[in-house]
Amino acid sequence: MQLRKTIYRILKNFKFLPIPLLLRLRYGAYTGKKLHLNKPVEFNEKKNWLKLYYHPPILTQLADKYAVRSYVTEKIGGEYLNELYGIYRSAEEVDFESLPDQFIIKATHGCRKNLIVWDKAKLDKEKTKRLLKKWLKYDQYNNVGYEWAYKNIKPGIVIEKLLIEENKRFLTDYKIVCLNGKGSYAQIVMDLDGKEVQGNFNREFELQKFITKNRDPYQGHIEKPALYEKMWELAEILAGHLPLVRVDFYLIGQKIIFGEMTFYPGDGKYDFYPDEYNKIFGDQLKLPVLKKGQKEILDY
């Protein structure tokens, strides 16, 4: 497996190679399986098919950490959005003096580009600006897994209110995976004594048997949140007619806060265990039809 990853990391630098080949190499490097793009069956195979063929322009808006706000406001209401302090297109635009003592900085156009500022007085502003400049040059599409939704996002920086959950090192993240507009399961990432763990739950808040190996599994008992069903309802409204989207929420006190929308959860490289669930969820996901002679699907 490690050899396959090394080969992929070398070959992905050859930009003349076709994307389907690179997706096959990447998939094999991380799963040890062959990627069937012509007739995908397993869940992660279908995610990779969507990367390659499903390109309605609305995905660009919905994957953008700033542009998605107008969609959320239209569909479920602005009250579910976190407080926005600013949107910036260059690091030099950021006026740190006008910001509160605590906040979070995010890149609009990528994944895991977040900086939590607990105390502005201790922030090295010049170092932070250098980091933001690096973020603004980052190309999520080419540098990671050819996730098409990120390809055309205008790079930017958003700064929002820092959300804090009492007695938690980090926020509980409710990630509701919707297939063809209906909630299928919820990945709940939580703080367990300072360690990040994940449990997968159904709509009735029953812990499911399947896991992924990108996070340690949670196997204990937690009480069902009072607004858990409401999060599923909101997720399905936002999912609309999309074949696959994961809608993330936070729950602060008794207030639901929208997080983001993700179209290729886990980048299509983390299998379920037991293995049978890769086909179970693959069967649930009905792909749009790519008509003869059609190179990509643009309709939403």
DSSP string covering 193-242: TTEEEEEEE-TT-PBPS-EETTSEEP-S--PPPTTHHHHHHHHHHHHTT-
Q: Mark which of 103, 138, 160 sits at the end of a domain.
A: 160
Q: How many domains does the chain have?
A: 2
In a domain, 221, yes or no: yes
End-to-end Cα spacing for the chain: 37
How many residues are recorded in the chain?
300
The pLDDT value recorded for residue 166 is 85
Same domain? 125 vs 40: no
In a domain, 199, yes or no: yes
Q: Mark which of 132, 160, 188 sits at the end of a domain.
A: 160
The pLDDT value recorded for residue 215 is 83
Same domain? 175 vs 114: no
Same domain? 66 vs 93: no
Domain of residue 101: give its range. Answer: 83-160
In a domain, 11, yes or no: no
The pLDDT value recorded for residue 11 is 63
Burial 110-143, CB ≥16 within 10 A → b, else e:
bbebebebeeeeebeeeebeeebeebbeeebbee
Same domain? 152 vs 116: yes
Same domain? 119 vs 244: no
Same domain? 235 vs 192: yes
Same domain? 219 vs 284: yes
In a domain, 7, yes or no: no
The pLDDT value recorded for residue 195 is 85
In a domain, 60, yes or no: yes
Location of structure tokens 């690096």: 134
Helix (H/G/I), strand (E/B), else coil: 266: helix
Same domain? 201 vs 244: yes
In a domain, 16, yes or no: no
Closest C-alpha to 186, from 244, 248, 129: 248
In a domain, 23, yes or no: no
Q: pLDDT tens track of the chain, all 300 residues?
A: 677 777 667 766 667 789 999 999 999 999 999 999 999 999 999 999 999 999 999 999 999 999 999 999 999 999 999 999 999 999 999 999 999 999 999 999 998 899 999 999 999 999 999 999 999 999 999 988 999 999 999 999 999 999 999 888 889 999 999 999 999 999 999 988 878 899 999 999 999 999 987 788 887 788 899 999 999 999 999 999 999 999 999 999 899 999 999 999 999 999 999 999 999 999 999 999 998 889 999 988
Cα distances (Å, whole numbers) of residue 112 to 129, 130, 144? 17, 17, 12
Q: Mark which of 160, 182, 201 sits at the end of a domain.
A: 160
Same domain? 227 vs 276: yes
Residue spans of beta strands (DSSP E) within the chain? 84-88, 103-107, 114-117, 157-160, 173-179, 182-192, 195-201, 211-212, 216-217, 244-252, 255-262, 272-273
In a domain, 130, yes or no: yes
Same domain? 100 vs 203: no
Q: How does DSSP classify residue 248?
A: E
